[in-house]
Amino acid sequence: MNAMLRIVGWILALALVALPIVAVLNGWIGASQWPLQKLRATGQFERVDEALLRRTVMPYAQRGFFAVDLAAAQAAVSKLPWVEHAQVRKRWPDVLEVIVVEHRPFARWDKDLLLSQQGKLFPAKGVEVPPGLPQLGGPQARVADVVTLYNESRAQFAPIGLDVKEVSLDPRGSWTLGLDNGAQIVVGRSEARARIGRFVRLMPQLLAQQAQVLKRADLRYTNGFALTWAPVPAPAAVPQQPQGQS
């Protein structure tokens, strides 16, 4: 009987020690004794809304220093628009620190996504998209291939004074480019870089022989190209100023 009483006594003693610790760690007590009173946010914050960031983090800080759920707070911040990476940590005695790395947009991707400079896709909904971004698209598993062809094709067209504004890869693996002069270049599935190179070498000669505007070029031919031309747009009429009466 004495042995049983000693065991029960030890269990009660351990419970008296453990329960306050559990209560503090779960925020049942101690939130007022060890409150998180300061929010320290670091980052460039060119596009992340600081007020929204504060509203997102504050509910997690209300449980006190020991009970704050850092993983949940970090996950919530990571879901905010323009946030590429977030880290949330606490600093004794009363600081909750949030470190934010913003997405830096590189291009539009398909209809409703943006591609960051780090190669990550993120939703375009709810963000102010910077003007002038190229339009890229294709299977998300082929992001690196699309970006590579975009960069290489720009370098190929640059010597003749043209820029690539669009690159798309369809599910069958066929490439299509869009140039800044409005021309669409259908490249096809195989030997994309070689086909573009041959076309670029001949393009100045082709343009010089035509008094029209190139609308579409199909490079999927072994011994040539199929070209579609459009009439040169008529210059806009200059409105005449009314003559003053003498």
Name the least confident of 38-42, 46-50, 235-239. 235-239
b/e map 211-227, b = 16+ CB within 10 Å = eeebeebbbeeeeebeb
Q: Rounded CA gap, 121 and 140, in Å?
A: 8
Q: Are 137 and 168 in contact (CB under 8 A)?
A: yes
Q: What is the pLDDT of residues 132-187, one digit of tens each?
A: 999 999 999 999 999 999 999 999 999 999 999 999 999 999 999 999 999 999 99
Q: Find the mean pLDDT for residues 181-199.
A: 95
At residue 244, the pLDDT reads 55
Please name the CATH architecture into which domain 35-102 falls. Roll (3.10)
What architecture is domain 134-230? 3-Layer(aba) Sandwich (3.40)
**pTM summary value:** 0.74
- 86 pLDDT above the threshold of 50: yes
3-state secondary structure of 172: coil
Parse the chain into domains and list their residue ranges.
35-102, 134-230
